[in-house]
Structure 1
Amino acid sequence: MFKQFKNIDTAFRHIKTFSIVFLGATTLLCGFVIYKSHETVERILSSIWVIVDNRPIQAKIAARKDNLEVEARRHVTEFHRLFFTLDPDEKAITSTITKALYLADENAKRQYDNLRESGYYSGLISGNISQRITIDSIRLDMRSEPYAFRCYATQQLIRSSGTLIRILTTTGTLHNVARTDNNPHGFIIRRWETLENRDKTQ
């Protein structure tokens, strides 16, 4: 009879051990399946399909930090292009400057007001002068926000008698803000100032 109890006790221990091992293996398997499922979903969600000329092209979604420097450089370029590329037309000047002012703070607005009051834009219109800008280089310090930048550019003032070349250097800082239709890169330029704006010597 004791031998029978001993056999029952041994069998119970074996069943208990088997149950624990089985439960542990099942838990590990479930964890692995959940992990792989999550990984697969993340991979699927990180790619999108774009239709170009009726052909689907796969594109990858990247975190903003992966493209932060590229977007910052593009923001600075776009602001300077809008602020300094002007045609001798009052409505065109107002339109491009308005777009530029969405990308910067009151320092840019103050500089625009100063130029307008000094008759700069009127001079462009009356002299039938077009102004173009080429960004030569942008130096960025992306180590911490606000991100300091320095922009080196060349201006062309195109008139019927010839083209005047000017050297332009500006500086400022970039701060993160919410993206909008008027500010797609999600930055605003603060403390913007012109360090140099002189005629290029031959």
Structure 2
Amino acid sequence: MLIKNIEHKIRLALVIAVGSFIASIVVVFIVSFFAYKQVSNARENIYILDNSVPILAKQTNMQLNRPAEYKASVDLFHSIFFSLTPDDKYIDYQMKRAMYLIDESGALQYNNLKEKGYFTSILSSSSVLTLQTDSIKLDMVNKKFIFYGKQIIERRSSTVTRSLITTGGLKDIPRSDNNSHGVLITNWKTLENKDLTNVQKNQF
């Protein structure tokens, strides 16, 4: 009888020990989960000092705003690359700005245009180029875009309107002063760039 009581107590103690161990693991997991959640929420909060008084400000979730930033970056790049004036220093300045927003595919297109005398013709004809963005379609799953726009070329003798359709990929990179959206355009290609209208100006 004594032996049975001892075995029963040992068995009971073992059950209690195992139960306590499992319960402690469950508690650790629950605490870790809520701690992680709390830290994640804290990262979305920033504090601004107003006369040494901290004021809580809510930070926007980056992923929720990412599509808008993709479109803004694509629009900015095309505006910089295709809006030019007959000023060689300004053209060089714009191209340097644009190269911060794109991979080597941008430099490749720039060099091709330069070899074909595209920028020289802008200077010689005193052309002013502006770009109008029609729309930007995003494929968030594959991180790709299609840009639709019109390029207006004002020359002394005429005004030419060209359709512009390009495509490329989107890559997330660290933000910087030269790339505030943290977006790099990749594998950039021109799908269409043809004249839509060519209106002659009156010559006096």
TM-score, shorter chain, exceeding 0.5:
yes
CA distance in 2, matches of 1:101, 1:6: 83
Q: 2:57 — aligned with what?
A: 57
Deviation of 1:107 (Å): 1.7
CA distance in 1, matches of 2:17, 2:56: 51
Equivalent residues of 1:172, 1:189 under 8 A apart: no
Q: 2:148 — aligned with what?
A: 152
Deviation of 1:20 (Å): 2.3
Structure 2 SS opposite 1:187: strand
Per-residue CA distance 1:36-60 (angstroms, 9 max, x = gap): 2122222223x14275998652113
CA distance in 2, matches of 1:69, 1:20: 51
Per-residue CA distance 1:94-116 (angstroms, 9 max, x = gap): 21122223422302331244202
CA distance in 2, matches of 1:101, 1:29: 52
- Give the direction of change, closer, same or farther, for the CA distance of 1:29–1:194 in structure 2 (3 Å limit): closer
Q: 1:192 — aligned with what?
A: 189
CA distance in 2, matches of 1:190, 1:17: 63
- Residue 46 of structure 2 aligns with an amino acid whose one-letter code is W
Per-residue CA distance 1:112-138 (angstroms, 9 max, x = gap): 442024x223322xxxx5432220112
Q: 2:13 — aligned with what?
A: 15
- Residue 7 of structure 1 aligns with an amino acid whose one-letter code is N
CA distance in 2, matches of 1:76, 1:52: 34
Q: 1:33 — aligned with what?
A: 31
1:85 corresponds to which of 75, 83, 90: 83
Structure 2 SS opposite 1:19: helix
**TM-score normalised to the size of structure 1?**
0.71
Q: 1:169 — aligned with what?
A: 164
CA distance in 2, matches of 1:123, 1:159: 7
Structure 1 SS opposite 2:125: helix
Point out the more displaced range, 174-183 or 88-97.
174-183
Give the unaligned 5+ runs of structure 1: none
Runs ≥4 residues deviating over 6 A: 52-55
Q: 1:116 — aligned with what?
A: 119
CA distance in 2, matches of 1:150, 1:7: 79
- Give the direction of change, closer, same or farther, for the CA distance of 1:52–1:187 in structure 2 (3 Å limit): farther
Point out the more displaced range, 164-173 or 54-63.
54-63
Equivalent residues of 2:85, 2:122 under 8 A apart: no
- What value does the CA root-mean-square deviation take over the aligned residues? 3.5
User: Identity rate of aligned residues, in percent?
Assistant: 22
Point out the more displaced range, 163-172 or 19-28.
163-172
- Give the direction of change, closer, same or farther, for the CA distance of 1:9–1:36 in structure 2 (3 Å limit): same
Q: 1:99 — aligned with what?
A: 97
Equivalent residues of 1:108, 1:192 under 8 A apart: no
Structure 1 SS opposite 2:159: strand
- Residue 110 of structure 1 aligns with an amino acid whose one-letter code is N
Deviation of 1:61 (Å): 4.0
Deviation of 1:34 (Å): 1.9
Per-residue CA distance 1:30-84 (angstroms, 9 max, x = gap): 2211222122222223x14275998652113434xx6554444333211210012
CA distance in 2, matches of 1:166, 1:51: 48
CA distance in 1, matches of 2:115, 2:47: 43
CA distance in 2, matches of 1:109, 1:25: 67
